[in-house]
């Protein structure tokens, strides 16, 4: 029987006659738009065009190694394959213009496991598998895409975002650069017995703003900055003659030279400091300052964090927070990815919350009731975007129900003031009243324990809905009043409750399906006019979050971040490292889409929403979105199989 995919003089001639149009087509789609011209011409020279009528099987599983590589020039191709890990599940997906297949089978020199069928009349550019492998060897962009797939496309998008922001802001380094590469001078240090006056002379001589105090082995014992100078001289003028060891800040923050600029920026912002020590093999090798990370012309993370923590009023907080969108632009220019950006936004929201609490207590007077401010949801996960509402509560300690009620009544007016002030700062009030001003969320430690015990023991729809919010929980403010032990005990109880986890998994799959207009968009050729919209949080991010949460709770994983949960799940062998990588990339991509949407809305003074117009996406974004939603279906299929739903 003749091979329907084999080259023919007619098919090859058709490609040669249309080579200018084919070349233009290739240059519109990744990774071909990154390939050298000679490699593209080689592809055209070796390939041929084939027409496949609707319903025609293009290639399918057989006992022979795959002979051809296909690139869709026009039309749609449907893929169907049995899931080897979850036999009851058949994976179905659509490929459109610019997609190619079956790359994994060619690389493995085996038959494809997928049946590819023309969903509608379509044309494919076809290449012999041996010629495709030769092209892989000489073209790095094609090879990277073939091996890394979705991750390589995400890297390209990240690079494009950085280039656009860099062109605007003039960035000259990446947030992924290691600290070792940013150290340009040998560190200047001193010993603890040297008097302050002598230390200041050395600082003046070297024009530095900090001095690290080391032991004889060059391990940092403390640090002294010009900010500390104001403090010590204000206390006592003759401190100039006191040994620096008596005045230094002990236990300075340190990082390894392999840590990144982002790690340093986030640590500085968290502790609102301006310097940290770079240590290798317990020896000081350098000092990194906030000026090393951000030039003075830009809005920088450390300065912004410090300004928030020291803001004198709610009005000042509002004004300072207006710089956050510009900070996002700046960090994009430095190569920060979406996961890093949401961590930074959350960190700044934490600082805002802490300062609001302090200002409120100053205004109302301290009630002498120690309490912890708790956050739930995206703030607990470190995944907040520019648009976010409040999900918070209060934990305090009481010895009896009567004392708990008395302390609650004293704390509720304070909580209400805090919630209102946070709303004024852009952290909008929760429509579902998941806020500390709600008496049901201003609870003693024992009341919180009872509340979670009730959720676990009665997993009805109401309690399962609460679990999707409250099981992502973190303490933001106040000394630990027993929260950390309570949280660890909660994780242990949850892991042991198989009935609850199964019902929570079922709830995680109960998101309403994407609207029909979205399904039509996914099923149509890129470029068609559909007027479709996607609610990014409801139909993309939240299903990822809920699925990862169930799996993390089943494994007693304390981290709340979705990306960290997936990474930990892979380490525990619950999911494969490949699944963890691809699912994390898909989630990070959806976050990037959301952040870029908010940036555009900010630029045009539009209200911030999570509703994305699909027609606004370019070819690469369209392709990435389809793949991200496909990976979401795979994650949900894993959950379905694991819990036999």
Write down the domain spans for the chain: 9-148, 180-293, 337-486, 507-642
What own/partner pairs with CB < 8 Å and gap ≥ 24 does 86-90 have?
Answer: 86/637, 86/638, 86/640, 86/641, 88/641, 89/637, 89/640, 89/641
**Nearest of 430, 525, 448, 495 to residue 74 by alpha carbon:** 525
Instruction: Quickly list DSSP for 155-210.
Output: HHHHHHHHHHHHHHH---S-TTSBHHHH--SPPPEE-TTSBHHHHHHHHHHHT-SE
- Residue 308 predicted with pLDDT over 50: yes
- Residue 527 predicted with pLDDT over 60: no
Question: CA-to-CA distance for 481 and 559, rounded, in angstroms?
Answer: 20
Residues 123-177 have pLDDT tens digits of 999 999 999 999 988 988 888 777 666 565 566 565 555 555 554 444 445 566 7
Pairing of strands 473-477, 533-535: unpaired
Rounded to whole angstroms, what are the CA distances from 331 to 176, 216, 225, 383? 11, 39, 26, 16
Any idea what DSSP says for residue 75?
A: S
Mean pLDDT of 221-248: 86
- Name the CATH architecture for the domain at 507-642: Up-down Bundle (1.20)
Instruction: Find tokens 């890129």 and name the residue.
Output: 526
Question: CA-to-CA distance for 103 and 594, rounded, in angstroms?
Answer: 30
**Nearest of 501, 536, 545, 560 to residue 635 by alpha carbon:** 545
Question: CA-to-CA distance for 104 and 415, rounded, in angstroms?
Answer: 56
> What crossing angle do the helices spanning 314-321 and 338-364 adopt, rounded to 10°?
170
Query: Edge-to-edge, what's the strand order for the sheet holding 90-95?
Result: 57-59, 115-118, 77-82, 90-95
State which H helix or E strand residue 180 sits in.
helix 179-182
Whole-number pLDDT of residue 543: 93
Higher pLDDT, 328 or 482: 482
Tokens (6 digits) for 551: 């799996």
Q: Which of 185-189, 211-215, 543-547, 566-570 has the weakest average pLDDT? A: 185-189
Whole-number pLDDT of residue 164: 54
Tokens (6 digits) for 506: 């079922």
Burial of 206: CB neighbours in 10 Å, binned 0-12, 13-18, 19+: exposed
* Three-state secondary-structure class, residue 640: helix
Whole-number pLDDT of residue 298: 45
Residues 247-305 have pLDDT tens digits of 999 989 999 999 988 888 888 878 878 888 999 999 999 998 877 775 433 456 777 88
CATH number of 9-148: 2.60.120.10
Higher pLDDT, 9 or 512: 9
Report percent pLDDT > 90 for the chain: 43
- Given a contact cutoff of 8 angstroms between Cβ atoms, the answer to whether 456 and 494 are in contact is yes
Report percent pLDDT > 70 for the chain: 89
User: What is the number of other CB atoms lying within 10 angstroms of the CB of residue 110?
Assistant: 15
CATH number of 180-293: 3.10.580.10
* Three-state secondary-structure class, residue 69: strand
Mean pLDDT of the chain: 85
Tokens (6 digits) for 299: 């809005």
- Given a contact cutoff of 8 angstroms between Cβ atoms, the answer to whether 177 and 293 are in contact is no
Interacting residues of 130 by C-beta distance below 8 A, sequence separation 6+? none
Residues in the chain: 645
> What crossing angle do the helices spanning 150-169 and 619-642 adopt, rounded to 10°?
130
- Given a contact cutoff of 8 angstroms between Cβ atoms, the answer to whether 98 and 526 are in contact is yes
**Nearest of 138, 168, 142 to residue 156 by alpha carbon:** 142
Question: What class does CATH assign to 337-486?
Answer: alpha beta
Whole-number pLDDT of residue 158: 57
* Domain 180-293 identical in fold to domain 337-486: no
Question: CA-to-CA distance for 428 and 431, rounded, in angstroms?
Answer: 9
Tokens (6 digits) for 466: 């609460």
Whole-number pLDDT of residue 516: 46
- Given a contact cutoff of 8 angstroms between Cβ atoms, the answer to whether 417 and 424 are in contact is no
Residues 573-590 have pLDDT tens digits of 999 888 898 899 899 999
- Residue 534 pairs in a beta bridge with 612
Pairing of strands 90-95, 371-376: unpaired
What pTM does this model have? Answer: 0.70
Question: CA-to-CA distance for 332 and 162, rounded, in angstroms?
Answer: 5
Interacting residues of 298 by C-beta distance below 8 A, sequence separation 6+? 169, 326, 330
Whole-number pLDDT of residue 151: 60
Residues 404-446 have pLDDT tens digits of 999 999 999 999 999 999 999 999 999 999 999 999 999 999 9
SS (H, E, C) 385-400: CCCCECCEEEEECCCC
Query: Edge-to-edge, what's the strand order for the sheet holding 254-255?
Result: 254-255, 275-280, 283-289
């Amino acid at each position: 029987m003749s091979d329907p995919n084999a080259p023919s003089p007619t098919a090859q001639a058709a490609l040669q006659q249309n080579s200018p149009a084919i070349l233009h087509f290739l240059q519109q789609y990744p990774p071909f738009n990154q390939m050298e011209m000679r490699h593209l011409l080689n592809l055209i020279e070796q390939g041929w065009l084939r027409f496949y009528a609707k319903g025609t099987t293009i290639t399918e599983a057989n006992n022979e190694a795959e002979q051809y590589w296909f690139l869709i020039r026009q039309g749609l191709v449907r893929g169907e394959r049995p899931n080897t890990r979850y036999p009851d599940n058949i994976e179905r997906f659509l490929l459109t213009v610019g997609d190619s297949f079956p790359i994994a089978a060619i690389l493995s020199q085996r038959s494809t496991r997928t049946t590819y069928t023309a969903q509608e009349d379509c044309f494919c550019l076809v290449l012999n598998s041996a010629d495709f492998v030769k092209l892989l060897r000489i073209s790095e962009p094609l090879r990277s895409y073939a091996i890394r797939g979705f991750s390589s496309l995400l890297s390209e998008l990240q690079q494009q975002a950085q280039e656009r922001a860099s062109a605007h802001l003039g960035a000259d380094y990446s947030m992924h650069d290691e600290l070792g590469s940013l150290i340009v001078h040998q560190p200047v240090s001193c010993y603890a017995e040297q008097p302050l006056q002598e230390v200041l002379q050395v600082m003046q001589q070297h024009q530095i703003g900090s001095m690290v105090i080391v032991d004889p082995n060059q391990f940092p014992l403390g640090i002294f900055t010009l900010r500390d100078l104001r403090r010590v001289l204000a206390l006592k003028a003759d401190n100039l003659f006191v040994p620096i060891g008596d005045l230094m800040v002990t236990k300075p923050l340190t990082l390894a030279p392999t840590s990144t600029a982002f790690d340093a920026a986030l640590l500085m912002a968290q502790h609102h400091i301006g310097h940290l020590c770079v240590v290798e093999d317990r020896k000081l090798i350098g000092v990194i300052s906030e000026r090393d990370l951000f030039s003075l012309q830009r809005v920088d993370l450390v300065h912004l964090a410090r300004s928030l923590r020291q803001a004198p009023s709610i009005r000042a907080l509002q004004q300072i927070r207006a710089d956050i969108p510009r900070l996002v632009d700046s960090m994009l220019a430095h190569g920060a990815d979406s996961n890093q950006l949401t961590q930074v936004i959350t960190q700044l929201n934490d600082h805002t919350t802490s300062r609001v609490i302090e200002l409120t207590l100053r205004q109302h007077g301290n009630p002498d009731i120690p309490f912890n401010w708790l956050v739930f949801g995206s703030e607990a996960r470190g995944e907040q975007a520019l648009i976010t509402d409040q999900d918070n509560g209060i934990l305090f300690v009481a010895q009896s129900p009567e004392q708990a009620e008395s302390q609650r009544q004293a704390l509720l007016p304070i909580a209400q003031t805090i919630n209102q002030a946070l709303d004024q700062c852009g952290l909008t009030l929760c429509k579902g009243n998941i806020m500390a001003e709600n008496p049901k969320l201003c609870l003693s430690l024992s009341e919180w324990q009872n509340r979670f015990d009730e959720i676990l023991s009665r997993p009805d729809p109401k309690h399962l809905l609460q679990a999707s919010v409250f099981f992502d929980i973190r303490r933001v403010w106040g000394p630990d009043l027993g929260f950390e032990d309570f949280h660890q005990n909660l994780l242990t109880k949850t892991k042991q409750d198989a009935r609850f986890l199964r019902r929570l998994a079922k709830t995680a799959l109960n998101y309403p399906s994407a609207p029909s207009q979205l399904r039509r968009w996914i099923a149509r050729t890129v470029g068609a006019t559909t007027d479709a919209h996607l609610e990014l949080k409801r139909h993309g991010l939240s299903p990822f979050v809920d699925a990862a949460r169930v799996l993390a709770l089943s494994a007693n994983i304390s981290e709340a971040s979705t990306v960290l949960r997936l990474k930990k799940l892979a380490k525990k062998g619950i999911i494969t490292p490949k699944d963890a990588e691809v699912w994390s990339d898909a989630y990070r991509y959806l976050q990037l889409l959301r952040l870029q949407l908010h940036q555009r809305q900010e630029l045009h003074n539009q209200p911030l929403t999570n509703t994305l117009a699909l027609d606004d996406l370019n070819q690469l974004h369209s392709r990435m979105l389809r793949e991200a939603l496909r990976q979401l279906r795979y994650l949900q299929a894993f959950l379905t199989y694991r819990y036999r739903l």
